[in-house]
Amino acid sequence: MLRNTLCAIVAVTFATLVSPALAENSTMATKQKVLVSSNDFPESGLEVLRKHFTVLQSRYIHFGEEGIKENKDELLNLIPGCAGLVWVSHHPITKELLDKAGPSLKVVATASAGYNHCNVEELKARGIKLSNTPNVLAPAVAEIAVGLILGAARRFTENLDQVRRGEWEIGFQKVLGQDVRGSTVGIIGLGGIGQAVVKRLAGFEVSKFVYTGHREKPEAKALGAEFVTLDQLLTQSDFVLLAVPLTSETKHMINSTTLAKMKKNAILVNVGRGDLVDQDALYDALKNHQIYAAGLDVTTPEPLPKDHKLLTLPNIFILPHIGSATVRTRSDMAVLAADNVVNALSGKPLVTPVLE
């Protein structure tokens, strides 16, 4: 006790005399701990966190197999006593990890718009707050949606393959695609991303935008988008865009029944989550030319194994879940996730709450 007190006096005196930085360090022991689940979280977000907390960070990347295996023990080791957890992946948050965290854990901030991987029920039962990062990623995801629309409609997969093989199919009627101009574009889920896609496609001379969802959106009028039922959307649309969160209700909402309602020239684009689509049914529909093509930024599983049957199809254009993967957007997501943790741990409302 005496020894501790003396040490503290010496440390404080020394720090005050020597440098303000050291003085700040001497208070670090009392700072709350926040754990960042991946070694590749942007510096912009770490900076915000370091101003307020002692930041612990996994030495491993929290994606792919390594994210599941090597990272698991690391996180279980680091989490005890942490007040905040920044989740930088789409891997599930397990009960085991929450148990290990114990009652000190007050907030989880996922650096993603979707939160289907966050074990919401378990967080709720434990009174742990949850935030996500919507809005900041909508422009980047919308740009990828436009890319997928063009990539699938203009058959980028087959065409790129020809270029790589040096065997171009040259001719007036070879490898023809579909126009966006004059088409009907159907948006399933006119949230931030859906709206951003409509804004971006406005210059493409689309003839009609329709959308469906739980209710009509006030923003739709200004965007010129008409509210329809899912069935109407499927039967009318030349492009069907999935931009809804994955829930028990939306899981496999594109299945053999709904695919059968789509037009023969229809193009399905998914920037939501892989499980919105029954991939076996999609494979059959594309193989049998029941629909024209598909463009996917999300699949089940991720990564999709390289021998997966979807990759044998010429009329599919697949990207490795890069919707929000731009320098600016990832940095914005990191700062927003960090701001949520700061607010939660200083008694302020979350900036972008899921559970509060």
Task: Provide the binding-site residues for ligand NAG, judged by CB under 6 A.
Answer: 21, 24-25, 252-253, 255, 257-258
Only one residue has tokens 């279980």, namely 76
Give the residue with the Cβ less far from ligand NAG, 128 or 253: 253
Give the residue with the Cβ less far from ligand NAG, 101 or 262: 262
Q: How far is the CB of 276 from ligand NAG (least distance, A)?
A: 9
Q: What's the farthest any 2 CA atoms get from each other in the chain?
A: 91
Give the residue with the Cβ less far from ligand NAG, 247 or 257: 257
Give the residue with the Cβ less far from ligand NAG, 212 or 340: 212
What's the distance, CA 191 to chain centroid? 14
Give the chain's length: 356
Query: Among all residues, whose Cβ is closest to ligand NAG?
Result: 253
Question: Which of 62, 90, 91, 321 is the catalytic position?
Answer: 321
Q: How far is the CB of 103 from ligand NAG (least distance, A)?
A: 28
Q: How far is the CB of 24 from ligand NAG (least distance, A)?
A: 4
Only one residue has tokens 């088409």, namely 183
Strands (E) in the chain, as ranges, are 33-36, 54-57, 84-87, 107-110, 129-131, 184-188, 208-212, 225-227, 239-242, 267-270, 293-296, 316-318, 353-355
Only one residue has tokens 């007036």, namely 172
Q: How far is the CB of 25 from ligand NAG (least distance, A)?
A: 4
How far apart, in whole angstroms, are the C-alpha atoms of residue 128 and residue 119?
11
Q: How far is the CB of 70 from ligand NAG (least distance, A)?
A: 26
| E strand or H helix at 158 | helix 156-165
Q: How would you list the strands of the sheet with 225-227, edge to edge?
A: 225-227, 208-212, 184-188, 239-242, 267-270, 293-296, 316-318
Which residues have C-beta within 8 Å of that of residue 27, sequence separation ≥ 6? none
Tell me if residue 252 is catalytic. Answer: no
Give the residue with the Cβ less far from ligand NAG, 24 or 205: 24
DSSP 255-279: SHHHHHHS-TT-EEEE-S-GGGB-H
Only one residue has tokens 């700061």, namely 342
> What residues are labeled active site?
321
